[in-house]
Structure 1
Amino acid sequence: MSSGAVHKRPSIHDVANHAGVSAATVSKVMHGVSTVKPENVQRVFEAVERLGYRADPLASDLRRAKRRIIGAILPEFESEFFGSMVTHLERLAELRGYTLVAASSGESEEREAEILRRMQDWRVAGVVLAPVRDEHGRGGELMQAHGMTGVMIDRVLSDESFDTVSADSMSASAEVARELIGRGHRHVLVVGLGEQGACVRARLEGFRRTAEALDPKVQIDVILCESDVEPLRASIRDYFSRGERPTAVFSLFLKGTLVALSEFRRRGWHCPDDISLVGFDDAEWMSVTWPTIAAVVQPVDQIAAQAMDMLFRRIDGETGPPTARLERCQLLVRESVGAPSSGPHPGGGAGQ
């Protein structure tokens, strides 16, 4: 028998006493009820963190048909955007007394569907889904068919069955167009990975529409590849080898920005003297490399917060038509953007 002191698990009543509120108020806060006064919500969360309170999942499961588990399905975890998204979702779930179970679809709709079936078997309380394609893909259809509670994020615009939250990609790309056209760029290459995703279509449309409105004679070349970055790399290399000389490149996704930059360096081109570069999505390396790379920053924390708020409202029984939210992005103009050079890009790279 251990001689050490036995530490009692903090209860909801301990949290209530510490926060100076009732146990019912603590329960409402943990379940996301919006009628609680903001100051009381803050006191409850501070007490939860100080006491190390954790809801008893066994007791909760005995009172409801579904477990206190939130599922999250994202296309991948490697990028800073989705990696950060999982971190935010996990923190927000745990604040409500839930556990987050996250899985990667690997950009496969078949795997996405299989993971959703597993989560249905686990009787998760709700699902946050960043679909492989868009709101009309297999993931959304499967959630609706099984009557699952869910919210869709990122590659979505709006849906008839589920709440959606994503970045305002169209407005962000329009801002990129205004920046480049305003600096005198009239020949721009746009690169991306697939056009089937709602966010890719919105980014391309926002850029094209705004650029052509500012100057109808602007030349916009587009390279989109459906699968991986290697076909994109080959297409960009072939494009430049044919003699095409845009004065700026706008990448619609993070890996594309890195692919474009590596091709510039292979050819001996420098930003922004020889060519300008803007990428959608920011990463730490973009602010520490030389030159620093201009980027559209997506509001990951706001998307996660809105998604979880919507999800818990539905879990708690809120009804009504689905809500579609677009969160505003920020364009960080860094050293990789300048005015077009007066002549053709100089030589200096193999493969020209």
Structure 2
Amino acid sequence: MAKGAQPKRPSIHDVARRAGVSAATVSKVMHGVPTVKAENAERVFEAVRQLGYRADPLASDLRRSKRRIIGAIVPELESEFFGSIVTHLERLAERRGYTLVAASSGESEEREAEILRRMEDWRVAGVVLAPVRDEHGPAGEMMRAQGMTGVMIDRVLSDKTFDTVSADSLSASAEVARELADRGHRHVLVIGLGEQGACVRARLEGFRRTAEALDPQMRIDVLLSESSVEPLRGAIRDYFSRGERPTAVFSLFLKGTLVALSEFRRRGWHCPDDISLIGFDDAEWMQVTWPSIAAVVQPVERIAAHAMERLFRRIDGETGPPMARLEPCRFLVRESIGMPRQERRQGPKISVVET
């Protein structure tokens, strides 16, 4: 090689020779065609990794109207749940030779629509959308009108056009209700954000329906804020200041769990001696704080994997009615759950309940 010359960029034929397969097989693997034998696909991925192969996006764009770009739109990038979702989506997209472009709607349907317009201008191959509200919002209608290829995740149940992948929030919340009822709780405060969101409705319905079936006398108070965390923080403070003393709080979202715990500590209450606490979504701080906070853990990796699987199938031309998939959650019973003071006895061990 001449001095100063740049090393030759690995080609699809180099990958084929290294993997011991045809260039056509490499192309199928990179496009996610499911008919390739698993052992051949693994050899191709290993050859791609060893050679540092990257598909030429300019050459690809000349052969197709869509670019090898996947768009991802989520309500926020700061949360552990959506941040982790984007991380997994990016890894899966790059494994197929695509680039992921992620953006946050900021819980704004107007911004969500603007991002979708930009992605359509970029001619993205497909979009993974976690909508601000649910599958019936303006984002879904825009994707349908533009004929975009997409999959909806998280705040959705099912859709007439797009495949959907979500956590089974209803069943998970039902398990929380059973745990609290079994321990003798008869007054529970449920707090949440985004009353119109499909997942919030499912979580609330799952808890309320199960709790009322187990104990018709159980009192369930609900505080929901549509706009932001701060109004909810004020509502919780006012609620306790009126003298309300539930024996447990169930937060339907991660930030709400922290808000509730902060209010407990401001008032000098301790979990679980004075009040029990359960949160939807888990975070590292919930595991290392004392007492550790009970949590419903959403299957982030499985949601991302199934969303990308369905998206690539649609990109590759699969037709047929949309599929709706609900992934089971895990309920981690930790130290923040106890029995009401008047019914307390030796507490149960930490357990994991599959829902």
Quickly name the TM-score band, shorter chain normalised.
Answer: over 0.9
Counterpart residue number, 1:12 = 12
Counterpart residue number, 2:335 = 335
Cα deviation for residue 2 of structure 1 reads 7.4
Calculate the TM-score normalised by the size of structure 2.
0.95
1:128-147 pair list within 5 angstroms: 128-147=128-147
Cα deviation for residue 194 of structure 1 reads 2.1
Write the distance in 1 (CA, Å) between the matches of 2:90 and 2:3: 36
Secondary structure in 2 matching 1:331:
strand
How many residues are treated as equivalent by the alignment? 343
Counterpart residue number, 1:348 = none
Paired amino acid for 2:134: D
Counterpart residue number, 2:125 = 125
Counterpart residue number, 1:290 = 290
1:1-352 pair list within 5 angstroms: 3-4=3-4, 6-342=6-342
Write the distance in 2 (CA, Å) between the matches of 1:2 and 1:103: 43
Write the distance in 2 (CA, Å) between the matches of 1:15 and 1:108: 44
Structure 2: any 5+ residue segments left out of the alignment?
Answer: 344-355
Identity %: 84
Cα deviation for residue 118 of structure 1 reads 0.7
Secondary structure in 1 matching 2:100:
strand
Cα deviation for residue 302 of structure 1 reads 0.6
Counterpart residue number, 2:348 = none
Secondary structure in 1 matching 2:290:
coil
Cα deviation for residue 176 of structure 1 reads 0.8
Counterpart residue number, 2:351 = none
Paired amino acid for 2:57: P
Paired amino acid for 1:183: R
Cα deviation for residue 4 of structure 1 reads 4.1
Counterpart residue number, 2:349 = none
Secondary structure in 2 matching 1:309:
helix
Write the distance in 2 (CA, Å) between the matches of 1:90 and 1:222: 37
Deviation by residue 1:139-196 (Cα, 9 ceiling, x = unmatched): 0000001111111000000000101011110011111111111111111100000210
Secondary structure in 1 matching 2:16:
helix
Cα deviation for residue 39 of structure 1 reads 1.7
Cα RMSD for the two superposed structures: 1.3
Write the distance in 1 (CA, Å) between the matches of 2:21 and 2:215: 61
Write the distance in 1 (CA, Å) between the matches of 2:22 and 2:325: 34
Secondary structure in 1 matching 2:223:
strand
| Alpha carbons of structure 1 residues 10 and 219: separation in structure 2 relative to 1, 3 Å | same
Paired amino acid for 1:175: E
Secondary structure in 2 matching 1:342:
helix
Paired amino acid for 1:194: G
Paired amino acid for 1:137: G
Write the distance in 2 (CA, Å) between the matches of 1:8 and 1:294: 54
Runs of 4+ in structure 1 deviating by more than 6 angstroms, as ranges, are none
Paired amino acid for 2:340: P
Cα deviation for residue 3 of structure 1 reads 2.0
Counterpart residue number, 1:350 = none
